[in-house]
Amino acid sequence: MALDDYRKKRDFTNSPEPSGDKPVRKKAGAPLFFCVQKHLASHLHYDLRLEWNGVLLSWAVPKGPSIDPRDKRLAMHVEDHPIAYGSFEGVIPEGYGAGVVMLWDRGTWEPESDDVDAALKKGELKFRTNGFKLKGSWVLVKTHGFGPSTGSGQAAGNSWLLIKHRDDWAGPVAITEFAPLSVKTPDADFEDILAGGTPELWRNNPPAKGGDTGKMFQKIISRALAISASNKSAAKSTAKTAKTSKPARVMTAAKAAAAKKAGKAR
Ligand code: MN
């Protein structure tokens, strides 16, 4: 089964990630789904996923996709993910991939290579995306041996490059900086997503401690704790009129927390 590797790496009693046991039914001829998840784990990276043959083919892109055709972004081919993963956004408290997952872009894709399976085998897949952030023509090309071994069991043989083709959707813009937020939860950044989970769990034991990633986690955890404290006090004073000065993201996180509670109550 294509999802064996995916399931082997995860403990679904501890992770909110979908197990992929429930098949997602799609109409024949329905457009193919694509997404990019921004994943702050042991290192920040972006996971590009393309629906194909009932799963999401997946590449981890350390620097994230670039719409500048001069950039060749390393993309490590990783295990297939279930289709249901395409709407996942949340907190993985511990274990494989522990950290925060943001749904950074989503939409549909179409191959520009005639035979996708042959293109994947050959190591050169041309395709178009129609997402909120990523649009137009791209190529994923296998490096055939060169490129780093990441030290996490991913051999150099899994290295591909993600390159934007020149078209109306290309330009010298750092898209990950220009559009850093979630496409699932309006205006949500990592701290808002974490505030909807259990930020106190990581107060003394974040998924990464040292370096830039450790610093990012510290910042996000303290912000998430502040958001969740302010949500609690806001919930206590629901009778009071909402202050207009309240930041939009607090409202978003409050809504997300309320929706989560409502979901649990059912
Ligand atoms: Mn990831």
Query: What does the pLDDT look like over 131-189, one tens digit per residue?
Result: 999 999 999 999 976 555 544 444 557 999 999 999 999 999 999 999 999 999 999 99
Total count of domains within the chain: 1
Q: pLDDT tens, 41-82? A: 999 999 999 999 999 999 999 999 999 999 999 999 999 999
Note whether residue 24 is domain-resident.
no
199: containing domain: 4-12+30-235+244-265
Number of residues written out for the chain? 266
Q: Could you tell me the distance, in angstroms and rounded to a whole number, from the CA of residue 246 to the centre of ligand 1? A: 33
Residue listed under structure tokens 């302010």:
230
Q: Could you tell me the distance, in angstroms and rounded to a whole number, from the CA of residue 229 to the centre of ligand 1? A: 29
Note whether residue 25 is domain-resident.
no
Q: Could you tell me the distance, in angstroms and rounded to a whole number, from the CA of residue 186 to the centre of ligand 1? A: 21
CA distance 117 to 222: 46
pLDDT band at 258 (very low <50, low <70, confident <90, very high): low
Predicted confidence (pLDDT) at residue 243 exceeds the cutoff of 60: no
Q: What is the pTM for the complete model shown?
A: 0.84
Note whether residue 17 is domain-resident.
no
Q: Give the chain's mean pLDDT.
A: 88
Q: Could you tell me the distance, in angstroms and rounded to a whole number, from the CA of residue 251 to the centre of ligand 1? A: 28
How, if at all, do strands 44-52 and 124-131 pair? unpaired
Q: Could you tell me the distance, in angstroms and rounded to a whole number, from the CA of residue 106 to the centre of ligand 1? A: 16
Q: What are phi and psi of 250, to 5 degrees?
A: -70, -40
Q: Could you tell me the distance, in angstroms and rounded to a whole number, from the CA of residue 235 to the centre of ligand 1? A: 33
Note whether residue 164 is domain-resident.
yes
**Percent share of the chain, pLDDT over 70:** 84
Predicted confidence (pLDDT) at residue 127 exceeds the cutoff of 80: yes
Predicted confidence (pLDDT) at residue 236 exceeds the cutoff of 50: yes
The strand ranges marked E within 115-205 are: 124-131, 135-142, 159-164
Q: Could you tell me the distance, in angstroms and rounded to a whole number, from the CA of residue 253 to the centre of ligand 1? A: 23
Note whether 40 and 99 are within 8 A (CB).
yes
Note whether residue 108 is domain-resident.
yes
| Cβ neighbours for 115, distance < 8 A, ≥ 6 positions apart | none
Closest CA to 182 of 190, 172, 173, 171: 190
Note whether residue 23 is domain-resident.
no
Q: Could you tell me the distance, in angstroms and rounded to a whole number, from the CA of residue 90 to the centre of ligand 1? A: 12
Q: Could you tell me the distance, in angstroms and rounded to a whole number, from the CA of residue 97 to the centre of ligand 1? A: 6
Mean pLDDT of 182-205: 93
- What is the Rg, in whole angstroms, of the alpha carbon atoms belonging to the chain? 19
Note whether residue 229 is domain-resident.
yes
Q: Could you tell me the distance, in angstroms and rounded to a whole number, from the CA of residue 52 to the centre of ligand 1? A: 19
**Percent share of the chain, pLDDT over 90:** 70
Note whether residue 20 is domain-resident.
no
Q: What is the pLDDT of residue 239?
A: 54
Residue listed under structure tokens 């990630």:
17
